[in-house]
Structure 1
Amino acid sequence: MATVADDVGAERRDDGFFLWSSLLMALVLVAGFSVQLVAGRSSFGAPWYVHAHALVFFGWVVIYVAQTAFATRGPMRLHRLLGWVAVGWVVAMVIAGFTVIALKIRAGQAPFFFQPQHFLIANPLIILLFASLTAAAVSMRRQTDWHRRLHMCAMIALLGPGFGRLLPMPLLIPWSYQIANLPGLAFLAAGMIVDHRRTGEVHPAWWWGLGAILGVMIGTELIVHSPLGSLIYEAVTAGSPGAAVAPLEFAPPPPPMG
């Protein structure tokens, strides 16, 4: 009984770390997209499906922060109730993410600092990684230590678009995607450090999360530069303007505004 009480007490002492981490991750995403809007590189004139994706994406950010707050500050009743809403929201995230990526690729509108085929393969794999880590967290919801760490790893997987909008992506070619996804690992490293300072060891959930994220990054490169990657690109772009775009070449940057 004493061991169980100690474990519960230790998790409660970590509440502040998880709450503040959720707020900082939300700040990264909000700041990244806000910078693009202020700089005029994004606008409300984008197609409807881009707005729908943004609504679903930032809806998840709100859910994640709220869920962390309810779990660490209460009431737990709302945490459990919102949890079932979150499960359905993950499905919407997958559908919206896949849809907007496919439509942009078919329109030949991949960002110029990404190879179109890389953009097409990398982003769906990140979405599936997020959904898989979230599903694992939900399945272990009765094991708080695993549950909260896997959820945080899933959120870390989504930080690439936020950091990518804060970093000078054109200057990072040809490693824009990889570099944009690395800063998020600082949150994972912070979790490892917090655990090690408290218990003298790193919780295995962090290692599973790190392995999954790095595995997807490596798997992305293998698929992109393989016949399978080419087949996927051809299938998605068939009969569209995107079919005329060189899949493994970087497009020239757009002309300066004004």
Structure 2
Amino acid sequence: MHSSDSPIVQASRKAVHEEHLIANYAASRLRLEALDPYLWRDVNHLDLNKLWEYLAYYLYLPRIKNQQVLLEAIAQGVAALVWNENFAYATGWDESKGRYLGLKTAEHITVTLSSQSLIVKPEVAQRQLEADAAMAKPPTPPLVKEGTGSYKTEKEKTIDTVVTPNDSSNGKVTVIVSPKRFYGSVKLDALRLRRDVGQIADEVIQHLSSLVDAEVEITLELQVTVPEGVPDNVIRTVSENCQVLNFSNQGFEQE
């Protein structure tokens, strides 16, 4: 603390340091500290005007510095690949149809503070997404990209059938079998990680995860080489953070 600072600046710095005034807030904390235990226990969504009023009024809720901090936390929560651990976002609620308008998940959005802007429980948003996918028109045969840059359509399978006197199929019937698994890997630029992950989520993952009964598994693999060696404080910080983030495998090596 600088002695030359005014009492107001000193008090503000102390409030931020002790989180009596939060200047940077994570979406996961918003859900764990405010939404789940208090604000949406009995409702499926909450408009942002009301959410801000609650945060500004009730002393037992997190004291967020300003509206912008809240909007950034919501935008980050919706953009996350694991958005279902946070919440979804919608631009309205159609009471007559019982559905959300402009429902957004796993994509970058611009959040506005209004009574029409809603954060939605992830399990509720998922039900609407699955219902929409089930009602959608059956897609054309999917194209699977091969390593050569060409594409192939659905696989064909030939099965034996009973031959009738007028049958010219030689006892064979061709059945179209859709592919049931997708896999892919891509090298990301560490300096543009947020942008690249967002594009992958929008252009690839969203199309697959919206399919009925789709099970999506995402694994992030890191390999970092530091020619001069990793300092002890960085080793300690990274190791502790990996444990908190539930890394299944992590470690440092000499070579």
TM range, normalised to the smaller chain?
under 0.3
Structure 2 length normalisation: TM-score? 0.25
TM normalised by structure 1 equals 0.25
When Rg is computed on C-alpha atoms for both structures, the one with the higher figure is 2
Between 1 and 2, higher relative CO (CA 8 Å, sep ≥ 6) is seen in 1
Normalized per residue, the structure richer in strand is 2
